[in-house]
Structure 1
Amino acid sequence: MHSRLRFENPSALAHEVVGETLERALRDRSAEGEAAEVLVGTALNDDNAEFVEHWCVQVGMRAVSGSPLLGLAGLCLGHTTRRFGRLSDDALALAESLAVRAEADPRDVDSRAIDGYDDVRSFLHLR
């Protein structure tokens, strides 16, 4: 008998839990796995655009080089743009910066940042 793997998008959590989890991961890399799930759930399911963007930007600016959270923050900025149709100038600049870093050195920022920036450009109709 074969077991089937099921993928489920994580749910959005209470804002206090999101903040605590992401802050912990930014201080302690051992918490990055849980933080990744929380960030994705927030980007895909939280209805507060400013809150979602704030945490994507915080993670994208503060995670250390080589952290998988950097590429994920870029990807989640793409989700944010797709869902809400806008990004602040700072978030747009960060999405671009993370993609440039990913192209230059995927050991610094993984390629999900490139995918996220592609979404940003597409949904904001940028060239």
Structure 2
Amino acid sequence: MPSHPIFENPPALPRDAVVEALERALADRAHEPAAANALVGIALNGADREFVEHWCVQVGTRAVAGSPLLGLAGLCLGHTARRFGHLGDEAVALVHSLAARAELDPSDVDGRALDGLDDVRSFLRPS
């Protein structure tokens, strides 16, 4: 009987563990998988929108071109918009920038940034 992989959303890690995972990955790409789990975990399950947004912006502005963390940062900002109905101006501008880069060159920023932009457009409540 063939087995199928089971996908589970990662849990929100404690803040210090998130910061450590993200800073480590921004310094050394070998740590990107753990950082991706940390970022997705807080975007889907974290209670502090400002913390989630801050780290999505940090990753989205500091990760190197071609890093999968760039598209993921855009996607996670979309999740944050969906969950909380609000993003700051810097985060909204970053989502647009990452999506534009993804459209221009998917080897720079992957298409998940476009999904994030769709969520931002769909779920942000007018101020």
Both proteins in one fold, TM over 0.5: yes
Equivalent residue, structure 1, for 2:59: 59
Equivalent residue, structure 2, for 1:15: 15
5+ long unaligned stretches in structure 1: none
2:105 and 2:2 mapped to 1: Cα distance?
39
| Number of equivalenced pairs | 126
Which runs of structure 2 are paired with 1:67-82 in the superposition (5 Å)? Answer: 67-82=67-82
2:125 and 2:23 mapped to 1: Cα distance?
33
Equivalent residue, structure 2, for 1:93: 93
5+ long unaligned stretches in structure 2: none
Equivalent residue, structure 1, for 2:27: 27
Equivalent residue, structure 2, for 1:103: 103
1:5 and 1:93 mapped to 2: Cα distance?
36
Secondary structure in 2 matching 1:43: helix
Q: What is the identity percentage for the equivalent residue pairs of Structure 1 and Structure 2? A: 68
Deviation, 1:123, is: 0.8
Deviation, 1:2, is: 2.1
Q: Does residue 2 of structure 1 match 2:23? A: no
Deviating beyond 3 angstroms after TM superposition, the runs of 4 or more aligned structure 1 residues are none
Per-residue displacement from partner, 1:12-56 (whole Å, max 9, x unpaired)?
Answer: 000000000000000000000111111101100011101110110
TM-score normalised to structure 1 length: 0.96
